Amino acid sequence: MIPAPFIQDLLGRIDIVDLIDSHIPLKKAGANFVACCPFHSEKTPSFTVSHSKQFYHCFGCGAHGTAINFLMEYSGAGFVEAVKDLAKRAGMQVPSEEERSSFTPHQHDSLADVMVKAAKYYYARLKESAKAINYLKGRGISGEIVQKYRIGYAPSGWQNLENVFQNYAQPELQQAGLVVKQDTGRLHDRFRDRIMFPIINTKGEVIAFGGRILNDGEPKYLNSPETPLFEKGREVFGQPQALAALRKKNTVVVVEGYMDVIALAQHGIENVVAALGTATTGAHVQKLLRQADQIVFCFDGDSAGKKAAWRALENSLPVLPEQKRIDFVFLPPTEDPDSYVRRHGVAAFENLVRQSTPLSDFLIQELVSHGNMNTAEGRAGLISKAKPLLVNLKSPSLRLQLIKRLAEISKFTQQEVENLCELKPITQPSPPRLPRQAPPSLLRHLLRLLLQKPELAEQVPLETLPKDSSEAEAVNLLCEAILSFNGALPNHAVLLERLRECLSEPVLSKITAELIESTLVENEIDSEFEGVIHRLLENEKRRSFALLQEKVKKLGIASLSDEEKQRYQQYLQELSFQHVSRNVKPS
């Protein structure tokens, strides 16, 4: 975990307006800044950024958060990646206490530097190789695409990188997968006489390479091994170059190889990425669905393509959220994306993508194709094969739709399908709602006031809050977070990061978004706060009196302790005084 004080210091140095403006142009609108939302299509700007609160909110799609949230959603980065990116902008170094990495930040920087040097070397060598240039020209690849994807060439020869690095035996070259050490101890370059495709992460760092052989030979493609920089089950090729197109089309097309991505980009189809020599994983799917609402897997129509598609389907089920979709396109067995576009045109390929097969249809088609649905055995086998898929599927609505279709085909009832597959509810039933002693609106108003003036947390009588209210829990957590700063009052962004992933974070973020449009002036906050606290104390008195009165009715006045009797008499006197006051007419 990255220490909370570091996060606080980092967000104190980052201006969210400058950060977001460096990615999408912002316009001043009163006290805030606005733009068309980068997370959904719109013509009228509803994406609002507050400088004072260091918080953004889209009033169209509901996206909101801090500078960290923005980088996570915009670039598809994980939390740690986003923090590292912001730290680099702020000239800070993430503390080594971060336990998610098995190597130190210094080692990371060393390996990253090695990869940058290698990428520059390969890129420069491409211009010197006539056969490499002719190969790319023969595939219709322009210089513009070469530059966009930083395509290079690794010359033939065993130790070319010795001319790049002063110490060819330095361990970083082997750790980065650029140099291989044989059993005899001899060192040689991993990539030789190959077109080089740098694999770039969402931060723009070169983390690995894929190399395609120019002539006949095996392997046709040679990839970097997994390294401290590169985990092939989490990375895809071409994502940084595709980001703008992904947001525009809200669809990402996943193809099988580097050249498929390059060739489609050459034809103007840029919302395309490729997995890196491995089956599509759940991590791939999660990463891509942060950038688009739809994934379309494009595979060859042969048996190998169908197997690859099925693996992608199986790995997608546990991570497929509601309101997102995954589809499949199968090309003719003799075609790849490049040849298909050349033969049939861009419009025909894009039409294939638009008419892609939904995941549910592909799933049903494949299951049905492996049995005879005209026999009881075949229908029983259908449910047996569907069971692990339904168990892993986390989308409640899609699972219900599949259950209905399977029931229709198998001639079982929906309940029988659920029982046979031993399906449990995807979400736990909500606990019964308990009565609230204080109106929720009162506590929500208190949260608004605390977020506007955090120092008021010291004056909140937490013991008066109801014990069965989610909003009361939010007040408790917010006050605890504010007081933990020991007088160094944070801004909204720091507060919300301190409460990240707690149960109350959604309601606090929502209120912060509301405050972007409407806030109170200083004297109004104080007077409103006094009124809220007065009402909380009165509510607590009424609750306490009701409990004592119930005890007296059941057990008599003698059952009260001396302290309880004193409070009970005090409440009676206050109620009597209030009754007389209401009925005394002015003379």
Residue 124 has pLDDT above 90, yes or no: yes
**Residue with more model confidence, 499 or 37:** 37
Residue 127 has pLDDT above 80, yes or no: yes
**Residue with more model confidence, 77 or 490:** 77
Give the C-alpha separation, 55 to 67, whole Å: 7
Residue 101 has pLDDT above 70, yes or no: no
Closest CA to 492 of 8, 53, 33, 57: 53
Q: What is the mean pLDDT of residues 514-518?
A: 76
Looking at residue 428, its pLDDT comes to 40
Residue 23 has pLDDT above 60, yes or no: yes
**Residue with more model confidence, 9 or 288:** 288
Is the separation of the CB atoms in 268 and 346 below 8 Å?
Answer: yes
The percentage of the chain sitting over the pLDDT mark of 90, rounded to a whole number, equals 42
Looking at residue 237, its pLDDT comes to 95
Looking at residue 6, its pLDDT comes to 81
Is the separation of the CB atoms in 146 and 136 below 8 Å?
Answer: yes
Residue 576 has pLDDT above 90, yes or no: no
How far is residue 292 from each of residues 90, 147, 253, 355, 357, measured CA to CA in Å?
29, 25, 10, 17, 18
How far is residue 484 from each of residues 19, 173, 236, measured CA to CA in Å?
28, 46, 41
Residues 6+ apart with CB under 8 A from 364: 402, 405, 406, 409
Residue range(s) of every CATH 3.90.980.10 domain in the chain = 102-230
Is the separation of the CB atoms in 325 and 293 below 8 Å?
Answer: yes
- For residue 246, what is the enclosing H or E element? helix 239-249
What strands lie across the sheet with 152-154, from one edge to the other?
152-154, 194-200, 206-213, 221-223
- For residue 200, what is the enclosing H or E element? strand 194-200
Chain length of the chain:
587
**Band of pLDDT at residue 253, cut at 50, 70 and 90:** very high
Mean pLDDT score across all residues of the chain: 84
Angle between helices 67-75 and 79-90 (to 10 degrees): 120
Residue 401 has pLDDT above 90, yes or no: yes
The two three-digit tokens of residue 499, written as one number: 């409460």
The CATH classification number of 4-90 equals 3.90.580.10
SS3 per residue for 276-317 = CCCCCCHHHHHHHHCCCCEEEEEEECCHHHHHHHHHHHHHHH
Task: State the residue for tokens 């168990």.
Answer: 391
Neighbours of 503 (CB within 10 A): 11
Give the C-alpha separation, 335 to 328, whole Å: 16
How far is residue 438 from each of residues 161, 220, 505, measured CA to CA in Å?
72, 70, 21
**What is the pTM for the complete model shown?**
0.63
Partner residues linked to 152 by β-bridges = 196
Give the C-alpha separation, 336 to 267, whole Å: 14
For 46-73, write each residue's pLDDT tens digit. 999 988 888 899 888 888 889 998 988 8
**Of the given ranges (178-182, 332-336, 351-355, 368-372), which has the lowest mean pLDDT?**
332-336
**Band of pLDDT at residue 218, cut at 50, 70 and 90:** confident
**Band of pLDDT at residue 105, cut at 50, 70 and 90:** very low
Question: Which amino acid is residue 106, in one-letter code?
Answer: H
Exposed, middle or buried: residue 510 (CB in 10 Å: 0-12, 13-18, 19+)?
middle
Residue 102 has pLDDT above 80, yes or no: no
Question: Which amino acid is residue 58, in one-letter code?
Answer: C
Give the C-alpha separation, 219 to 572, whole Å: 90
- For residue 509, what is the enclosing H or E element? helix 505-517
Residue 423 has pLDDT above 80, yes or no: yes
Q: What is the mean pLDDT of residues 514-529?
A: 76
Give the C-alpha separation, 171 to 111, whole Å: 10
Tell me the CATH architecture of domain 102-230. Answer: Alpha-Beta Complex (3.90)
For 562-575, write each residue's pLDDT tens digit. 777 776 677 676 66
Does domain 370-420 correspond to CATH entry 1.20.50?
yes
Residue 313 has pLDDT above 90, yes or no: yes
**Band of pLDDT at residue 504, cut at 50, 70 and 90:** confident
Neighbours of 396 (CB within 10 A): 12
**Band of pLDDT at residue 8, cut at 50, 70 and 90:** confident
Task: State the residue for tokens 């160094």.
Answer: 488
Looking at residue 579, its pLDDT comes to 46
Q: What is the mean pLDDT of residues 445-464?
A: 85
Q: What is the CA radius of gyration of the chain?
A: 31
Looking at residue 433, its pLDDT comes to 43
Looking at residue 100, its pLDDT comes to 38
The two three-digit tokens of residue 569, written as one number: 């008499």
Q: What is the mean pLDDT of residues 219-232?
A: 89
Neighbours of 277 (CB within 10 A): 16
Give the C-alpha separation, 382 to 379, whole Å: 5
The two three-digit tokens of residue 302, written as one number: 């042969």
Neighbours of 402 (CB within 10 A): 21
260 phi/psi in degrees, rounded to 5: -60, -45
Give the C-alpha separation, 76 to 16, whole Å: 18
**Of the given ranges (97-101, 223-227, 406-410), which has the lowest mean pLDDT?**
97-101
Looking at residue 345, its pLDDT comes to 93
Angle at 77 between CA 72 and CA 83, to 5 degrees: 75
Q: How far is CA 566 from the centre of its chain?
A: 57
Q: Which of 7-16, 240-249, 369-378 has the highest mean pLDDT?
A: 369-378
The two three-digit tokens of residue 456, written as one number: 């008021």
Residue 447 has pLDDT above 60, yes or no: yes
Is the separation of the CB atoms in 23 and 38 below 8 Å?
Answer: yes
**Band of pLDDT at residue 310, cut at 50, 70 and 90:** very high
Homologous superfamily assigned to 440-579: DNAb Helicase; Chain A (1.10.860.10)
**Band of pLDDT at residue 33, cut at 50, 70 and 90:** very high
Give the C-alpha separation, 69 to 48, whole Å: 14
The two three-digit tokens of residue 111, written as one number: 């390996």
**Band of pLDDT at residue 103, cut at 50, 70 and 90:** very low
Looking at residue 541, its pLDDT comes to 74
Residue range(s) of every CATH 1.10.860.10 domain in the chain = 440-579
Quickly list DSSP for 393-420.
---HHHHHHHHHHHHHHHT--HHHHHHH
**Residue with more model confidence, 232 or 427:** 232
Is the separation of the CB atoms in 462 and 473 below 8 Å?
Answer: no
Q: Which of 230-234, 404-408, 450-454, 536-540 has the highest mean pLDDT?
A: 404-408
